């Protein structure tokens, strides 16, 4: 059974940092104040999706993604159009490819339409961090990243939109 977008909870950062000056900023050097987390729980079911303040991932040395490369990601962009609206570029294709990749890795299945709804909500939360047209063009990153964090006795899988 897939995670459900209707179960999404949002924990906002209390004091979000202002956008730094964008001139000369290198691609991939600034991160949004929030991330999405969806965990697969005890080989049984997906947990509820959460938008939480950005944090480091804590991974023990035996983490499966470090030893066996059990991870995948999809690059996805959110950008401002000429009218100033935040847009996603073909996100349904990214979500479908993510499902295809996770199926190949024998990871738990999910509904790509539910993932799309969650990504859209994430972009709404982060819309103020999407630079105006003419700046760095987008919120861009590994949206989502899926990795196996423990293996083999208790597979723990995380979806993170960074």
The band of 154, judged by pLDDT with boundaries at 50, 70 and 90, is very low
Question: pLDDT at residue 97 above 70?
Answer: yes
- pLDDT tens for 2-61 read 899 999 999 999 998 887 777 777 777 778 888 888 888 766 788 899 999 988 888 888
Choose the weakest-confidence range: 11-25, 72-86, 140-154: 140-154
Which single residue is written with the structure tokens 């996805």?
76
What is the CATH architecture assignment of 5-12+28-54+71-161?
2-Layer Sandwich (3.30)
pLDDT digits (tens, 9 = 90+) for 115-141: 999 999 998 998 888 777 655 555 555
CA distance 161 to 144: 4
Domain boundaries, the chain: 5-12+28-54+71-161
- Strand, coil or helix: 5: helix
Backbone angles phi, psi at 67, to 5 degrees: -95, -35
d(CA 83, CA 88): 14
């Amino acid at each position: 059974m897939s995670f459900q977008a209707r179960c999404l909870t949002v924990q906002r950062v209390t004091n979000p940092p202002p956008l730094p000056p964008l001139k000369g900023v290198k691609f991939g050097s600034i991160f949004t104040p929030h991330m999405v987390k969806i965990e697969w729980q005890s080989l049984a079911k997906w947990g509820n999706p959460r938008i939480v303040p950005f944090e480091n991932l804590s991974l023990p040395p035996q983490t499966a993604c470090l030893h066996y490369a059990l991870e995948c990601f999809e690059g996805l962009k959110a950008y401002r159009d000429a009218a100033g609206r935040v847009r996603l570029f073909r996100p349904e294709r990214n979500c479908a490819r993510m499902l295809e990749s996770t199926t190949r890795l024998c990871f738990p299945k999910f509904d790509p339409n539910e993932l799309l709804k969650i990504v859209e909500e994430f972009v709404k939360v982060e819309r103020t961090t999407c630079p105006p047209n003419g700046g760095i063009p987008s919120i861009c990153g590994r949206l989502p990243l899926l990795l196996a964090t423990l293996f083999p006795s208790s597979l723990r899988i995380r979806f993170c939109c960074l």
